[in-house]
Structure 1
Amino acid sequence: MQELYSIGDTAKIMGISVQTLRNYTNMNLVIPQHIDLETGYRYYSFKQFHYIDRIKYLRSLGMSLAEIAEILRAGKPEKLLIHLEAQKKKLVWELKEMVERYEDIEWYIDYFRYLGRYRIENVPYILQFEARHLMYVDHLRQDTIESVETRLAKLKNKANIPYRRQYGYVIDFPDFLNGKFTPQKYFTYLKEKPEDDINGKYLNLPAGLYLCLWVTDRSAIKAELVKKFFAEHPSPSFAVANEYEDSLIEYHHCPYEIQALIT
């Protein structure tokens, strides 16, 4: 059996860089078996491969060199278990964040592709929706886009509730059937139903079938077919008008999909 291995040979065998092995040594994680006093060259024994492999493995689990040093100084599995449990909790949190980020990305992909799938001007259609949750501010008669957006921004920041970045209006549906776009509330979608009351500025949209119609010019609404449909069905008191950004520069003239629940 070869007794000693140079730092270069040891690094190559263990699949790490020479600089990494030097760092291990400088932190006293691995003490060379022999140091040549004349050249300063470091040599390692076969038995130390096991310790180097353990350091690599703990690094692969996300532990820092400082944490590994603490574990090795203790020399007992108890300290290792404490750090493994802490790393496990950290990973559970990171996985949760990754899943939420993945779901957000999927939602936004669907949002920006929605126009291409469903936008047909002046032709109503029916879609099934799951229950949805809104956070809103009342739209007052004297409100401007600036004033209502500012109030909603303040409410969002105060409530600190995860939301989907899609805005819209709750509108008076009887007015819509008569060609008028009358906002009652300005809202953004929430990711889920809030646990707290958020000062009453919360609205649940029930799951069900919704009659939908695209509106590009709010001053020239053509709702004759929708009006004809609801002449034979119970008419809701309100509908939602969802904004869909077809431009990332100018959003004040974006199209809206009107959605009215069919009861």
Structure 2
Amino acid sequence: MKENLTISEMAKLRGMTTETLRHYDRIVLFKPQYVDPYSGYRYYSIFQYEILGTIKELRQIGMSTDEIKQYFDQRNFKKSLDILKAKHSELLSKLNELAELEENIREKIVYLSEVSREEELHEVRFREMKSRKLITLHEKINSNLELCYGVIRLESMLTEKAPILASNRLGIIIEEADLRANRCEEPSVIFVVAKNKAKIQKQHLKIIPAGLFACIRYNGELLRNRSESLYKLFEYLQETGYRITGSALQIMQVDITITDNPNEIMFEIQVPVQKNSKPLPVR
């Protein structure tokens, strides 16, 4: 064992690179105990191990070199404790953000795995759905250009991490009056389905009541290619004795964030319905 170490020896001892130690020397964070004036070789004392070990640990918890300099400047118990508390709070905030991001990604993986093996296109299915809150600008979209700007504005209102990517939350509202009049290509209002914990300003909130929905899926564009599916759904409802009870939702199931293949882009139209009452028997 020896007291004085070369830069290579100190770097190896503490699991660092020699360039890291040179950098710390240049920014006056951790300087060698002695520099040979003739050769320029740096020599460190083994008794400097504690300082270098502290620097390494503080870097591992995310402190910048400037923050570490502040940490070492006139150190005392209270100052060190306060700095560590502040860094701990910062790490907790990052952990919460990562946890939210992980939850969103996990939900997207589950959803995409399910949608890949669900029902065939152009088939009408009935599903009971819970009440949903929509975030909407209450503005009708007339073109794909307006759609792009509308999506950006809606995304700016969300505080979630990666909120819309690969999820069945973005869509448009097809008004009940248009459904009843078979106006399938009318301009529609864009929306995002809100998560339960989301805080929504009243002017941007629309609530979709729970109930029975007739659903049909198809490939195509958001503002086009839906007429055929809607007409098929209308015909099926008439044949099976159901009536429309409100505005429909057209929700994107697989979008351009997932695939470049237009044949894989998928939408689902969800129409609230109710079974027609049976007529009273004639006496």
Q: Shorter-chain TM-score: which interval?
A: 0.7 to 0.9
2:223 paired with 1:226: no
1:53-92 superposed matches below 5 A: 53-92=53-92
TM-score of the superposition, structure 2-length normalised?
A: 0.71
- Shift, 1:229, TM fit: 4.3
Deviations 1:82-107 (A, max 9, x none): 32222223223322332333344345
- Shift, 1:255, TM fit: 4.6
Partner residue, 2:269: 258
The residue identity in structure 2 corresponding to 1:222 is K
Instruction: Judge conservation of contact 1:128–1:209 (CA < 8 Å) in 2.
Output: yes
- Shift, 1:167, TM fit: 3.4
Check 1:172–1:6 CA distance in 2 against 1; reply closer, same or farther (3 A cut): closer
1:96-111 superposed matches below 5 A: 96-109=96-109
TM-score of the superposition, structure 1-length normalised?
A: 0.75
Question: What percentage of residue pairs aligned between the two structures are identical?
Answer: 24
Instruction: Judge conservation of contact 1:167–1:189 (CA < 8 Å) in 2.
Output: yes
Distance in 2 (alpha carbons) for counterparts of 1:204 and 1:37: 77
Deviations 1:157-207 (A, max 9, x none): 7x733463643232245864786536574222144343322xx24212244
Secondary structure of residue in 2 paired with 1:222: helix
Check 1:77–1:256 CA distance in 2 against 1; reply closer, same or farther (3 A cut): same
Distance in 2 (alpha carbons) for counterparts of 1:72 and 1:108: 45
Worse-superposed segment, 6-15 or 165-174 = 165-174
Partner residue, 1:125: 125
Partner residue, 1:160: 157
Worse-superposed segment, 188-197 or 177-186 = 177-186
Deviations 1:231-260 (A, max 9, x none): 3xx742222122344665697x96531223
Partner residue, 2:7: 7
Distance in 1 (alpha carbons) for counterparts of 2:149 and 2:255: 24
Check 1:188–1:85 CA distance in 2 against 1; reply closer, same or farther (3 A cut): same
Check 1:14–1:229 CA distance in 2 against 1; reply closer, same or farther (3 A cut): same
Secondary structure of residue in 1 paired with 2:227: coil
Distance in 2 (alpha carbons) for counterparts of 1:13 and 1:150: 56
Secondary structure of residue in 2 paired with 1:78: helix
Of residues 184, 194, 197, the one that matches 2:199 is 194
Partner residue, 1:237: 246
Any stretches of 5+ residues in structure 1 without a counterpart?
none
Secondary structure of residue in 1 paired with 2:171: strand
Check 1:244–1:34 CA distance in 2 against 1; reply closer, same or farther (3 A cut): closer
Partner residue, 2:36: 36
Check 1:64–1:152 CA distance in 2 against 1; reply closer, same or farther (3 A cut): closer
Of residues 160, 169, 172, the one that matches 1:169 is 172
Instruction: Judge conservation of contact 2:246–2:271 (CA < 8 Å) in 1.
Output: no
How many residues are aligned here?
255
Partner residue, 2:49: 49
2:213 paired with 1:210: yes
